[in-house]
Structure formats: C-alpha cells, structure tokens
C-alpha cells in the first residue's frame, strides 16, 4: 500500500502561498475595506508521480489553492515552484509553456464542458493550441484519448448534453490528458457524481497515475476518497494547513483536533460490523469568517481543548513523527483526544454511536 513517498523528486513545491481577495465597499468610491484571507500561508510538496490530497470543509481555501497553482488566479504572495521554476510570478504569456504540464479537472462536469462544442473539439482544443500533433492527426489522437478514458472513440462528434455525468467527467479527464501533463489538479473531481460512478472515475484516475506517472493534487472534502487515492494528505482549515503527513499517520494517528473531529465523523462500516463502538466528536458552531479570522489558532473557537495560549499564539506546524506535522499547541493522539473531548465536553460533545 505504502508507496515510498519521498523516493521521487519534488515536482511542485508550494511555499507560504497567500491569496487574499479584497472586499470593496459599494458606492462611487470603492475603497478596500477588508480582505478575504482565502489562502493564508500554505506550504506543501507534491512529488513526481505521487499525489497529495488536500482536504477541508467548503470555504477553507482548497479550491483557491488549486486555482492559484494553475494560475487561474494570481497569488498575493508566496512561491509556487514547478519543475524547478517559480511560476507564481510568470506572466500569462510565459505561463503558456507551463500549462502543458499542469492541467486541471473540474468539479462540475456540467459546467466544465462547453455545451456548444463537440467532444472532439473539446478534447482536441489543447492539441491545436499547442500544435502537439499535425492538424490531420488531431482526430486520431482525440479518439485515442477517448478510448483511454473509457469512452467510445466514435462519439467524437457528439455534444456534451448527450452524455451522462460520469461520461462527461471522463471527457474532462481526456481534455486534461491531451497535453501529457506532469501534474493534474483534480478539484473535487467526483463530488458531483453518483457514488457508483465515483468509484469508476477514481479508478480511471488511479490507472492514469500508475500507467502515465502523472502526479495529482487531489482536492476533496471527502476523506474516504482521498484516503484511497493519495499517499499523502494535507488538512486545511480557514486558509491554513493544520495537519499534513503520510496517509497512514494522518488517518491512524491524527494529532490535530480538527482532523480528529473530521475522522470521527466518517462512518466506519468495518467497525460497525464488528459491533465496535467509536466515539464521535461533534464540532459546534460554524467556520468563522475568513475576512476576520480568530486570533492565534484559527480553530480555537470550535476546539474543546482551547486555552488562553491558543488565542495569543498561532501554533506552528510541529513535527509529530518524520513527515507528519500538526499545528496545535495540544497535539495528542486520537484516543486521548476522545477522552479529553468527553471529559471537558463543553464545546465539543462526545457521543457513542
């Protein structure tokens, strides 16, 4: 199961990445009255041919991170090093070459395909833009790609509306594959699909990872899918990474209370079948506004362990074990956390289910 995560050289290194969106007042003179701190200092590495899962609730900044890396959005500060080259400051013109190597798969297969273009022209567009193959061979290549993602190659002249959600997502994957990228940013690629279709699409991506050696940055809110797909996991909360490490560590020995809460919310069929009971940490309250995040630790407003120090000092990412880091003043293993959540149960309550 465990792939040697650091055996391959780093492909994408994101360092202190920040993306703020200005909030402007309405009216004639539009002053900037605040910043939405969507991504606020994020650091991680994706290795060649490997994949990193970026997990978090909606609004935590994971999709923004993906869009900054693909330069659909410009970063406010920080560096994005791809293949040894800082792409955070490249102009859109200079980005053109890099775009061949970084592609994106979108969440919604209904809006990510142009309804007025045929499948052939959707998948063929990258080939034509970058002159990958001679004009007269575009069709052949498109058919190869359609076949590669499990679609009928004869359907190249059909429109997206003639396909189901899963098939559409396959078309989106074929488009991303057309340029032979080294990295694919998959922005919740299966969350819009039925569960039975999700497995098919995940398996297709698994094949591509294995056969073509493509690295993935897999953005998701679903812990189970990421666990299946990614040897490395990063958990985001309010624009920051709170825990990062190999999946065995993050899933079996989570140390950050937020990760622990997320994991305890995942229904575990195996345990239920064995008649086992497991504690469940229920988080109370909502995610605070990223315009005005809490001082110190951003999770403290919902954390059952919060002390004075949490409001004063922002906890850095501290090493728990090699490659496994968590940003908490009171990092501790899961079983102890369940205990403390039950003992102190004021903000977090523990229930058996």
Shortest Cβ distance from residue 297 to other proteins (Å)?
A: 34
Q: Are 80 and 17 in contact (CB under 8 A)?
A: yes
Q: Kindly provide the b/e burial profile for residues 282-293, where b requires at least 16 CB atoms within 10 angstroms of the residue's own CB.
A: ebeeebeebeeb
Q: Are 260 and 346 in contact (CB under 8 A)?
A: no
Shortest Cβ distance from residue 222 to other proteins (Å)?
A: 13
- Quick one: 199 or 344, whose CB is closer to other proteins? 199
At CA 287, angle to CA 281 and CA 292, rounded to 5?
145
d(CA 190, CA 188): 6
Indicate left, alpha or beta for 15 from its phi (over 0: left) and psi (-120 to 50: alpha): beta
- Quick one: 197 or 263, whose CB is closer to other proteins? 197
At CA 308, angle to CA 307 and CA 311, rounded to 5?
100
Q: Are 129 and 90 in contact (CB under 8 A)?
A: no
- Quick one: 164 or 336, whose CB is closer to other proteins? 164
DSSP string, 175-206: HHHTT--SEEEEESTTTTS-HHHHHHHHHHHH
- Quick one: 70 or 325, whose CB is closer to other proteins? 70
Question: Can you tell me which residue has the tokens 């792939």?
Answer: 3
Shortest Cβ distance from residue 193 to other proteins (Å)?
A: 12
Shortest Cβ distance from residue 96 to other proteins (Å)?
A: 5
Shortest Cβ distance from residue 39 to other proteins (Å)?
A: 17
Shortest Cβ distance from residue 26 to other proteins (Å)?
A: 14
- Quick one: 221 or 347, whose CB is closer to other proteins? 221
- Quick one: 102 or 327, whose CB is closer to other proteins? 102
Q: Are 2 and 231 in contact (CB under 8 A)?
A: yes
Residue 22, SS3 per DSSP: strand
Q: Are 178 and 132 in contact (CB under 8 A)?
A: yes
Contacts of 336 by beta carbon, 8 Å cutoff, 6+ apart:
none
| CB atoms closer than 10 angstroms to residue 223 | 19
- Quick one: 160 or 315, whose CB is closer to other proteins? 160
Record the tokens describing residue 273, joined without a space. Answer: 């079948």
Q: Are 99 and 91 in contact (CB under 8 A)?
A: no
Shortest Cβ distance from residue 7 to other proteins (Å)?
A: 20
Residues at the site binding other proteins, with contacts judged by CB under 8 A:
1, 67, 70, 72, 95-96, 99-100, 102-104, 106-108, 110-117, 125-126, 129-130, 150-152, 155, 158-159, 161-164, 166-167, 172, 175, 178-179, 196, 199-200, 202-204, 228
Shortest Cβ distance from residue 321 to other proteins (Å)?
A: 24
- Quick one: 13 or 108, whose CB is closer to other proteins? 108
């Amino acid at each position: 199961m465990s792939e040697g995560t650091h055996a391959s050289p780093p492909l994408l290194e994101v360092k202190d990445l920040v993306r703020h969106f200005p909030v402007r007042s309405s009216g004639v003179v539009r002053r900037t009255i605040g910043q939405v701190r969507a991504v606020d200092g994020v650091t991680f590495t994706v290795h060649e041919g490997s994949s990193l899962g970026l997990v978090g609730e909606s609004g935590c900044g994971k999709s923004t991170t993906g869009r900054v890396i693909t330069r659909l959005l410009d970063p406010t500060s920080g560096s994005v090093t791809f293949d040894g080259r800082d792409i955070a400051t490249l102009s859109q013109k200079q980005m053109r070459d890099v775009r061949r190597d970084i592609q994106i798969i979108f969440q919604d297969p209904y809006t990510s395909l142009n309804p007025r273009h045929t499948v052939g022209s959707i998948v063929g567009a990258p080939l034509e833009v970058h002159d990958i193959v001679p004009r007269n061979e575009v069709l052949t290549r498109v058919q190869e790609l359609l076949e590669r993602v499990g679609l009928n190659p004869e359907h190249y002249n059909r429109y997206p509306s003639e396909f189901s959600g899963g098939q559409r997502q396959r078309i989106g994957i074929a488009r991303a594959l057309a340029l032979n990228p080294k990295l694919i940013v998959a922005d919740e690629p299966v969350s819009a699909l039925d569960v039975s279709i999700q497995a098919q699409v995940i398996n297709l991506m698994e094949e591509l990872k294995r056969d073509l050696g493509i690295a993935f940055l897999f953005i998701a809110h679903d812990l189970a899918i990421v666990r299946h797909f990614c040897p490395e996991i990063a958990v985001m909360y309010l624009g920051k990474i709170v825990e990062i490490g190999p999946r065995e560590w993050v899933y079996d020995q989570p140390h950050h209370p937020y990760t622990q809460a997320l994991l305890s919310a995942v229904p575990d069929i195996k345990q239920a079948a064995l008649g086992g009971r497991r504690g469940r940490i229920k988080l109370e309250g909502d995610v605070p506004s990223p315009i005005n995040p809490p001082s110190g630790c951003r999770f403290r407003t919902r954390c059952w362990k919060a002390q004075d120090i949490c409001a004063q000092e922002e906890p850095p990412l501290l090493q728990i074990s090699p490659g496994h880091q968590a940003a908490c003043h009171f990092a501790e293993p899961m079983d102890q956390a369940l205990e403390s959540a039950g003992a102190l149960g004021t903000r977090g309550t523990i229930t058996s289910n």
